[in-house]
Each structure stands twice: as structure tokens, then as C-alpha cells.
Structure 1
Amino acid sequence: MARIVISENVSLDGVMEDPTGEEGTRHGGWFLEFMNGDRDAWERLGLEQALAASALLLGRRSDAYFGSRWNSRQGEWAERLNSLPKYVVSSTLEDPVWVNSTVVGGNVVAEVSRLKEQLEGEIVCFASRRLVRTLLEHDLVDELRLIVYPVVLGAGERLFDQTAAKAALRRVESRTVGEGLAYLAYEVARG
């Protein structure tokens, strides 16, 4: 049975919206602005997570975003990400952008539950705000990995917005990434 791992870049106050500024939100673009020279360390962490993954899970917009950027990249990290099987959750998409992708339609909760049963290892979900919230709401997430940026944005879509239930988490790892980013990993504590 696979484990669903959420891997997100977030501000200190939990905002995950528009990290690159391409959505045009008021506080967009914080990802590069507050990385403060920690890009090499962040990339090493990204490669580490990609090497541990057995598949990726994405929403439609994240497939378009990542596929348009990673399909043509070279190097160990790009080769690993591009070679992984990807499952894109969408009710409208027919042809995913990122290589090695399969569209998962229908009932999201049922389909992702089926993937967890069929696959082994870690299914990592990047970005995909709406999908992540659905997975959290239906107790399908096994671990959260957060890269926290040293900025409080005060507004924007947050990873944890209003939820129906409390979720107990257990810290499994914490470390700095470069000089200014924090990496926090939490398992969902069930039972």
C-alpha cells in the first residue's frame, strides 16, 4: 500500500498561493523573493524527495505548470521527475502536459484511495491546492512535508483553511534548508 505525501512550499503563515507570481495575486512571487540564496539547498531537498517517490499526484493546473517547465529540462532531478509515473486528477483534462502522466477522473476520493491500494511507496503531491485540501479532508494524507519561507504574507490561500475536523500530527523531521528555509515533516497520527 502506498503513502500519500504532501510536499509544499509555504509562507510562515501557511500561504501556498501564487509562489511564483504568475497568478497575479497581491502577494505573489514570494518563492524566489524570500529564498535568499538557498536555492541550491532547496534543489538538493527536491532531488532527495524525487528519488524517494514512486509516483506523483497532481491537479490539472499543476500538471500544466510543471509539465511546461520540466519536460525539456536536463539533469538528475529533471530526469527523475520526468521518469516518474504521474496521476493527474481532473474531470475535464484529456491530454496531460507532463510526460508519463495518466488522467484520473471520476470520484477523486475513490480513485486516490484505489491508487493507494494498488501502488507501493510514496505518492508525492506538489502544489495542487484544491486536490490537497480534498485529500486532507478525506483523511487520505499520510505525511506533510513543508518548506517554510521566512515571510508572513497576511493574505492568500493557505494550506490549512477551514476544515471539518481536527487532525493530529506527529513531527518526524525538522531541519534548516540553506540559511533561511525550514523543512518540517509531519506524519498524520491515526488512532
Structure 2
Amino acid sequence: MRKIIVLEFLTLDGVIQAGGGPTEDTSGDFVYGGWQVPYSDDVINKVMERQMNMPFDLLLGRKTFSIWAPYWPEHSEIWPSVMSVTKYVVSNTMKSHTWNPSIFLNGNVVDKIKTLKQGDGPNLHVYGSANLVQTLMQHDLVDEFWLKIYPLTLGSGKRLFAEGTIPAAFKLMESQISPSGIIIANYKRAGAVQTGSF
């Protein structure tokens, strides 16, 4: 069985939109694109290098795939494996693309993703893909979150934990803090929410 691992860069107030550049995603009149860039340091770079070079396939939303497809083939020396891994793309409008291998999921995508999880192969990594991540969380399909939490707030933008997130418990598996203040925290699903009283 494969795991679905959501890897996200987010602000203290949970914004995941357009961390990599000003034109990455301006939807909703978002003007803070590129907010990650000033915080880059050796620690976050090494963490990303390790995570990006383990065995994986990609599970992406259409918008993220559309941003990545023209970029990564031109910069494949940075991340060679992204060219050969299977890219599962959730889209009701896109049926094919020249960036292969790509497989497009449409219709009842929740059932199709459940079938993917049950199959053989490497874990499925999800980057960006805000709408897809909401669907995955609503259907309890996320096994792990690998988060990079940046020391700033933006007040607006697409958020990781939006309305509709189900109650769920997680266990911290790994954590560190980079010199620029990025909290790197990996969590895995740990059953139902427990409550108590003091």
C-alpha cells in the first residue's frame, strides 16, 4: 500500500499560495508570490534535496501541474527524478500532456485515488495543489504531512487547513528549525482526536 504524503511550504497563518515566485499563482488578487525566497538557507535546501530524491510518484492538481510542466523540463538538472516519475494529475479538463509519464484522473477522483493508494509503487508526494489537498483531507486520505512553516503571516491567500478539514490526530515524526526560522515538521496520521479535562 502506498502512502499519500503532502509536502507544503506555509506561513504561520497557513497560507500555501505562490511561495516560489510572484507569478506562480495570482488568483484572488494574491500579491505576495515569492514569500519563501528570502528565507532560503542551507538547512531547508538539504531537507528538500533529501525529500526530493527518495522514491516517489507525484499526485498533483491541474493548476500545480500546469505551473510545473513548462518549468521542470527546462530545469531538470535541479531535480532529475521529476522527469521520470509518474505524474498523476487530477483534472476534469486536461486529458493529456507532452510532459510524460503523466496519467490524468477525472470523474470520481476520490475512488481513483483510493485505488492508487492500494496499488503497488512508491509513495505519492503532493506539492502545492491546494484544492486537491482539501479533497484528500476531507476524505481522510493523507497519511503524512511534511511541513515547512515560515516565520511570517500574510492574512490572505489559499490555506492548507481550510473549512472542511476533518478532525484528525497526528504524531510528530521529525522536526528541526533552520537558521532563518523555518520550522520543518513531519507528521503522520495517528487515529482519532482524543479529548480530556484538566
Normalising by structure 2, we get a TM-score of 0.86
Measure the CA separation in 2 of the matches of 1:97 and 1:29.
27
Segments of structure 1 that go 5 or more residues without pairing to the other structure are none
Map of 2:195 onto structure 1: none
For the pair shown, the structure with the greater C-alpha radius of gyration is 2
What is the aligned partner in structure 1 of residue 160 from structure 2? 159
What's the CA shift for 1:128?
0.3
Q: Superposed, which structure 2 residues align to 1:66-77 within 5 Å?
A: 66-75=68-77, 77=78
- Looking at structure 1, the residues matched to 140 and 189 of structure 2 have their Cα atoms a distance apart, in angstroms, of 9
Output the amino acid matched with 2:185. Answer: L
Percent of aligned pairs sharing the same letter: 33
Which of 64, 67, 82 matches 1:65?
67
Give deviations 1:48-89, integer Å, cap 9, x for gaps: 1122232110011111111211112242x4211111111011
TM-score, normalization: structure 1? 0.89
Partners of 1:17 and 1:83 in 2: CA distance: 26
Match of 1:42 among 41, 44, 57: 44
One-letter code aligned to 2:5: V
Instruction: Give the equivalent residue in structure 2 for 1:136.
Output: 137
CA distance in 2: counterparts of 1:128 and 1:52, whole angstroms:
20
Residue of structure 1 in register with 2:196 after alignment: none
Partner amino acid, structure 1, of 2:33: G
CA–CA distance in 1 between the matches of 2:138 and 2:164?
Answer: 7
Deviation at 1:178, TM superposition (A): 4.6
Q: CA RMSD in A?
A: 1.8
Aligned residue-pair number: 187
Q: Distance in 2 between matches of 1:31 and 1:119?
A: 34
Q: Structure 1: how far apart are the matches of 2:111 and 2:176?
A: 35
3-state DSSP class of the match of 2:75? coil
Alpha-carbon distance between aligned partners in 1 of 2:91 and 2:105, rounded to the nearest angstrom: 6
How far the C-alpha of 1:31 sits from its partner, in A, is 1.9
Aligned to 1:31: 36
- Contact 1:10-1:149 at 8 Å conserved across structures: yes
Whole-angstrom CA distance in 2 between matches of 1:88 and 1:137: 18
Change in CA separation of 1:88 and 1:7 when aligned onto 2, cut-off 3 Å: same
Q: Is the 8 A contact 1:64 1:97 kept in 2?
A: no
CA distance in 2, matches of 1:112, 1:132: 12
The structure with the greater share of residues assigned to strand is: 1
Give the partner amino acid of 2:45: E
Alpha-carbon contact 1:27-1:155 (below 8 Å) kept: no
Mark the runs of 5 or more structure 2 residues left unpaired by the alignment: 193-198
Match of 1:123 in 2: 124
Shift of 1:158: 0.9
